[in-house]
Amino acid sequence: MPHPQSTSYDGLLLSPGPQDQGELSPTQLRLAAAYGKAMTPEQIAKELEYSATYVAKKIGAAGYEHLPWVKAIAPHRRKRGLRWVYATEAVAKYLDTPQ
């Protein structure tokens, strides 16, 4: 029997797509190996080279949805326990897109 506080979001964090066909980018492989299927705002800040405070304030605020990195990552938010986490795949795709 699953733990009452466990979530079933782990399967939802990565949508079906390139990973099913073995077409993971080097960035996706690196991030998945380092963080797993989900990343915390602190881990995202480290990868984007922003401060943890900046990421935490911007990613959850409605007034900053125009920022490209927020637009790419925020829709992939899921609750894990008491914390919000974001799909590693979304962070990798943002990092792989030309800026």
pLDDT reading at 33 higher than 50: yes
Predicted confidence band at 22 (pLDDT cuts at 50, 70, 90)? low
Residue 53 parent element (H or E): helix 52-59
Q: What distance in Å separates the CA atoms of residue 64 and residue 58, rounded to the nearest whole number?
A: 6
Task: Give pTM, 2 decimals.
Answer: 0.75
pLDDT reading at 20 higher than 60: no
Q: Please report the pLDDT score of residue 10 as a whole number.
A: 47
If DSSP codes are grouped into helix, strand and coil, which group holds residue 23? coil
Please give the average per-residue pLDDT across 51-77, as a whole number. 94
If DSSP codes are grouped into helix, strand and coil, which group holds residue 47? helix
Predicted confidence band at 23 (pLDDT cuts at 50, 70, 90)? confident
The neighbour count for residue 24, using CB atoms within 10 Å, is: 17
Contacts of 42 (CB under 8 A, 6+ apart): 52, 55, 56
